[in-house]
Copies of this chain bind each other. A is one copy, B any other.
Amino acid sequence: MEEPRLSTWERRTEWPMAALAVAFLIAYAWQVLHVSRPQWLHLGLEIVLWVIWVVFAGEYLIRLALAERKIRFIWRHLFDLLAVALPMVRQLRVLRLVTVLRVLNRQASAAFRGRVAIYVAIVTVLVSFCAALAVLDAERSNPDAGIDSFPKALWWTLTTISTVGYGDVYPTTWEGRLVAASLMIGGIALLGVITGMIASWLLERIRAADENLEGAIQQESDDLRAELRTLQAEIRELRRQLSDQEPSPPRPVS
């Protein structure tokens, strides 16, 4: 690791951050799905959401502070910065779920390394749920919107991520279209990640097979070398015999 302080911090905050992300998701889902909630509950959930968002923003700043090469950190974690900074704009509030997904994805990709199918299934379910929540939240402001209930929002999510796109329901507000755009871009990115995973897994297998072969070559070569050593020892023995013999025959000559 090039950044020991940063990676220590990240290892330590992994689980608390994931827990916070889940808490955020629950509070957000409650706010969106429980429409006729009393005023105090609305306020309470709003406070929870803002506090967690502030913690996320603070965590980004701490990681930035811990990083030794700050410019490179910002550049490499540009997406984290956007995910934290953009939702400050009221119209981009729905993007807060992107931060949550990034944190949960970090956990999921660590937990399911090597089991691509399970990882993809979990990420897809999670992303679909978040997208349905966010698009419902966004579209509610428009009385003419087609997406007016959670099942319809889920149906829209499904027709979108499968790229079927019947067009019977589609977002009509700009916030909803932002959610749709994130979903589409995220879907394409996910496809890229999966392709990369499969390719790297294939490569790993090929490399393992090659190492196997290299091991076989080494083994055979060592065997041959051992036989050559035996041969060498026998020849040396021969020379010793000759040397023993040598001193005696010349003598009779002298």
Contact = CB atoms under 8 A, between A and B. Distances in A.
A150 B181 CA distance: 15
23 contacts: A164-B165, A164-B184, A165-B166, A166-B170, A199-B202, A202-B203, A205-B206, A206-B206, A210-B210, A210-B213, A213-B213, A218-B220, A224-B224, A224-B225, A225-B227, A227-B228, A228-B228, A235-B235, A238-B239, A242-B245, A245-B245, A248-B249, A252-B252
A14 interface: no
A199 B195 CA distance: 11
B202 A177 contact: no
A244 B253 CA distance: 13
A74 interface: no
Contacts of A249: 245, 248-249, 252-253
Given A199-B198, A228-B227, A245-B250, A236 B239 contact: no
A207 interface: yes
A239 B234 CA distance: 9
Contacts of A198: 195, 199
Contact of A117 (B187, B192, B199): B192
Given A165-B166, A166-B165, A235 B243 contact: no
A162 interface: yes
Interface stretch (A17-25, A98-106, A107-115, A151-159): A151-159
A252 B253 CA distance: 6
A168 interface: yes
A78 B244 CA distance: 82
A55 interface: no
Q: Tell me what chain A mostly uses at the interface: helix, strand, loop, or mixed.
A: helix
Contacts of A168: 167, 170, 172
Interface in A212-238: 212-214, 216-218, 220-221, 223-225, 227-232, 234-238
Given A216-B217, A223-B225, A232 B230 contact: yes
Given A167-B166, A188-B162, A253-B251, A231 B235 contact: yes
Contacts of A26: none
Contacts of A234: 232, 235-236, 239
A19 B252 CA distance: 98
A46 interface: no
